[in-house]
Amino acid sequence: MSSATDHRPDDASPAPAGRPGRGRLSAWLFWDAPLARVAWLRLAVYAFVVVDVLWLHSTGRYHGAADPVWYSPLVLGDWLGVPAATVLLAEATRWGSVAFALAAMTGRAPRMLGWATALCWIWFQYIAFAYGKVDHDRADFLVALLLLPTVGAAHLSDRRRSEAAGFALRAVQLMAIATYFLAAVAKIRFGGWEWVQSATIARAVVRRGTVVSEWMLDVPWLLQAFQWGLLGAELLSPVIFVLALRWQRRVVGAWYLFHLATYAAITIAFWPHLVMMLAFLPLERALPAARRRWDRLRGREVDRGARQPLVAPGRDG
Amino acid sequence: MTQTGVAVRAADGDGGRTPSTTRTTLRLSAVGRAWRAGVVAVLAVGFVAGSLVGDDHWWPFSPWRMFSTSSSPDGAVRVFVLEVTTPNEPGWREVPINLWVVGLNRAELEGRWPLVQERPEVLVTLADAHARLEPEQERWDGVRLVRRSTPMAGGVPDREATTDQPLAVWTADGGAQVLGS
């Protein structure tokens, strides 16, 4: 049982003598989180980078073969003078992402390897997006790649807590939820309030529908009802931060179900965002819990000590 | 890095649910907190500004505009189609518009339609890219961009009423020209 308000200063470990008092917002932003959770999240993030550039979002490298006439620099590229892609540059950033992410998964040199991974992955995304089409689901992942290394050393079985870890996790959570809210802002900005009554999802089904969704084209009110529900859920998404921990996790589960349904209907998944949402979950308890379940399945006596959670529940929002 | 903070060994304060050993909590220094709070502020300003007034070129601060446009239930779904000819197959035939065939995907080509209108000769670069990406296949000697429209009524597409409109063409012997808008 925990909520945002559970992270009040008197719920945290006592501050060292001489430290100024902490405001509520500061205590919430810099909560003392389990370092092991950051280690697990980093593992997921770096594993995702490998899968992403090799399989999920690997095609950006073909821009190296496109004529530079199609290069349409983004503001970032204009500022930094980033040139059009070449086959060599595209492959270097792609395989650099793989190499640094694999190295970062070891947990060694977390800052250097983490930021090297971030640089390669961001550049590879830039190459993918600087030819006229931006995939709008990938910006939030930058926050994870750039801020998770700031935590420094963290081990999968780390029993320490850390405010730097709490900050990084909170920033990733905030960014993940901001994507929902800002997606609603974009719908209102570009589609207007009439977006909910439009045929936007119907068009998506026409373009990329599956057997799961194509029958819905004959029931257009259903797709519009979905649009009402989606916009409402996106606008209300920040409420997650004032919910009790148990409900926070249920809401995260509901978002995962939403993304699963979206994938089934129009084969679109916001993969990096799905990784970001892991920041809400007690990842460091997953493996011990799975071990216990496995032991139980095998009929073993579960060691009493193993029942002890690595990190106490109730303080880890 | 400023996570030099002070390591505190604190007694368990969570109802005895943790092992009875002491636990270390790493604190942040005031400087460490300040720059992190600054990063959050900068990110917040960037993402909010991008959502309110930015466009795709602002990436990573571009608006989250996936499926954000409002489409009329009675409008038409329009997509670009690419047709090509080769010396051995002189009739126009459709080929996929994707990165591993022409180095661009369909949305990218659709987004650069103003460029094609201005300089239709850029279509030859698609044939060049295809020759680089699929060298084992016959080189294209004609490239034609077509807009395919499927009308919708009440949000239901009428696929039988789908029409194709040629927009621009390049051929090895005839040069390039814009055919439609």
pLDDT of residue B2: 44
Total number of domains in chain A: 1
pLDDT of residue A293: 86
Classify residue A301: in a domain, yes or no. Answer: no
A57 close to A271: Cβ distance less than 8 angstroms: yes
A310 occurs within a structural domain? no
Question: Which of A260, A71, A259, A242 is CA-nearest to residue A173?
Answer: A242
Cβ(A127)–Cβ(A93) below 8 Å: yes
Name which of B27, B59, B67 is nearest A201 (Cβ-Cβ): B67
Residue A307 maps to a domain: no
Tell me, yes or no, whether A97 lies in a domain.
yes
Q: Bigger pLDDT: A289 or B32?
A: B32
Distance (Å) from the C-alpha of residue B87 to the closest C-alpha of chain A?
23
A17 contacts in B (CB within 8 Å)?
none
Mean pLDDT value across residues A258-272: 93
Is A29's CB within 8 Å of B125's CB? no
Whole-angstrom distance, CA of residue B85 vs CA of residue A216? 37
In chain A, residues with a C-beta closer than 8 Å to the C-beta of B43 are: 143, 171, 175
pLDDT in tens, A188-242: 999 999 999 888 888 888 878 889 898 988 887 898 899 999 999 999 999 999 9
Of A33-42, A308-317, B9-18, least confident by mean pLDDT is B9-18
pLDDT reading at B131 higher than 50: yes
Strand B156-157 to B163-171 pairing: unpaired
Alpha-carbon distance B152 to nearest alpha carbon in chain A (angstroms): 9
Element containing residue A162 per DSSP (H, E): strand A161-162
Contacts of B75 in chain A (CB under 8 A): 199
The Cα of A56 is separated from the nearest Cα of chain B by a number of Å equal to: 14
| Integer Cα distance of A108 and B18 in angstroms | 28
Residue A1 domain-assigned (yes or no): no
Sign of CA pseudo-dihedral A14, A151, A173, A51: negative
The pLDDT, as a whole number, for residue B72 is 74
Residue A119 lies in a domain: yes
pLDDT 10s digits, A297-306: 888 655 555 5
Assess if residue A99 is contained within a domain. Answer: yes
pLDDT at A59: 80
Residue B115 tokens, joined: 């460029």
**% of chain A with per-residue pLDDT over 90:** 69
CB contact under 8 A, B32 and A129: no
pLDDT of A19 strictly over 70: no
Percent of chain B with pLDDT over 70: 87
- Mean pLDDT for A94-105 is 98
- Give the 3-state secondary structure of chain B: CCCCCCEEEECCCCCCCCCCCCEEEECCCHHHHHHHHHHHHHHHHHHHHHHHHCCHHHCCCCCCCCCCCCCCCCCEEEEEEEEEEECCEEEEEEECCCHHHHCCCHHHHHHCHHHHHHCHHHHHHHHHHHHHHCCCCCCCCEEEEEEEEEEEECCEECHHHCEEEEEEEEECCCEEEECCC
**Residue-wise over B95-119: b if at least 16 C-beta within 10 A, else e?**
bebbbebbbbbbbbbbbbbeebeee
Chain A residue numbers touching B119 (CB-CB < 8 A): 69
Contact check, Cβ <8 Å, A139/B61: yes
CA dihedral (B63, B67, B72, B73) in degrees, to 10, reads: -160
Domain ranges in chain B are: 7-58, 76-178
A303 found inside a domain: no
Range of the domain at A239: 34-287
Residue-wise pLDDT for B157-180, tens only, equals 888 899 999 999 999 999 999 998
